[in-house]
Chain A
Amino acid sequence: MDPVLTARIAKPGSRGIDGYVADGGYGAWKKVLSEGWTPERLTEEVKKSGLRGRGGAGFPTGVKWGFIPKDTKGKPVYLLCNADESEPGTFKDRLLMEKDPHQVVEGVILSAYAIKCRDAYIYIRGEFYDGARILEAAVAEAYAQGFLGEKILGSAYSLDLTVHRGAGAYICGEETGLIESLEGKRGQPRIKPPFPAVSGVFGAPTIVNNVETLACVVHIVNRGAEWFAKIGRNEKNTGPKLYCLSGQVNRPGVYEAALGLQLKDLIFGDAYGGGMKDGRKVKAVIPGGASANMLTAAEIEDCPLDFDGVAAKGSMLGSAAIIVMNEDTCIVDAARNLSKFFSHESCGQCTPCREGTPWLHKVLDRIEEGAGRPEDIALLERICNQMANGMTICVFADAAIAGPLSSVKKFADEYRHHVENKRCLVGPRAEAAAVTV
Chain B
Amino acid sequence: MAHHVCVPRLDRRGFLKVGAALSGGLVINVAVPIAFRPPWAAEVGPSFDPNAFIRIDRRGVVTLVMPMVEMGQGTYTALPMLLAEELEVALDQVRLEHAPPNDVLYANPMLHFQATGMSSSIRAFWTPLRQAGAVGRTLLIAAAANRWRVDPGRCRAQRGVILHPTSTRRLPYGELVDDAATLPVPAADSVALKDSREFTLIGTPAKRLDTPDKVNGLAQFGIDVRVPNMKVAAIAISPVFGGKPKSVNEAAARTVKGVCQVVRIDNAVAVVGDHMWAAKKGLIAAAIQWDDGPLATINSSDIIRQLEEASKQPGVVARNEGDAENALAGAAQRIDAIYQVPFLAHAAMEPMNCTVHVRKDGCDLWVGTQVPTRTQSLVAEITGLPKDAVKLHNQLLGGGFGRRLEADGTVLAVKIAQHVDGPVKVLWSREEDIQHDMYRPYYYDRLSAGLDASGKPVAWTHRLCGSSIYARYLPQIFTNGLDHDAVEAAAEPPYHLPNIHVDYVRVEPPGIPTAFWRGVGPTHNVFVVESFIDELAAAAKQDPVAYRKTLLGHNPRALGVLELATRQAGWGRPLPARRARGVSVQFAFDTYLSQVAEVEVTTEGSVQVHRIVCAVDCGIAINPDTIAAQVEGGALFGLTAALYGNITLKNGRVEQSNFHDYQPIRIDEAPRIETHLVRSAASPGGFGEAPTAAVAPAVTNAIFAATGKRIRTLPIDTALLKSTA
Bound together: no
Residues on B facing A (Cβ under 8 Å): none
